[in-house]
Amino acid sequence: MTRERKAKKTKYKTVSLPKGLADDIQEIMDEFGYWPSLGAFVREAALDKLRRERQTPGKIVPEPILLLDPKEKRKN
């Protein structure tokens, strides 16, 4: 007799980031002290990206590729 698996309703998905990117994000989080977790930062960034994409349906909004150098200090 086989058991039928109940379909689990999950609330979250797991994503992977390259370690270098996660480390860069962590440095920004440490510098500003605003986001409580890496997940909170990534969630906010994803929501911002979705908002921009929805403002221009049918077009891809180009994003500059930023190479962050953690040794370089902000000039603000």
Tens of pLDDT, residues 19-70: 999 999 999 999 999 999 999 999 999 999 888 888 877 777 666 666 556 5
Does the pLDDT of residue 12 top 70, yes or no? yes
- Let me know if residue 23 belongs to a domain: yes
Global confidence as pTM? 0.64
Residue 76 lies in a domain: no
Say how many domains are in the chain.
1
Please check whether residue 29 lies inside any domain of the structure: yes
Query: Could you list the residue range(s) of the whole structural domain that residue 46 is in?
Result: 19-55
Residue 24 in any domain: the answer is: yes
Rounded to whole angstroms, the Cα distance separating 59 from 51 reads: 13
Number of alpha carbons in the 13 Å side-chain half-sphere of residue 49: 10
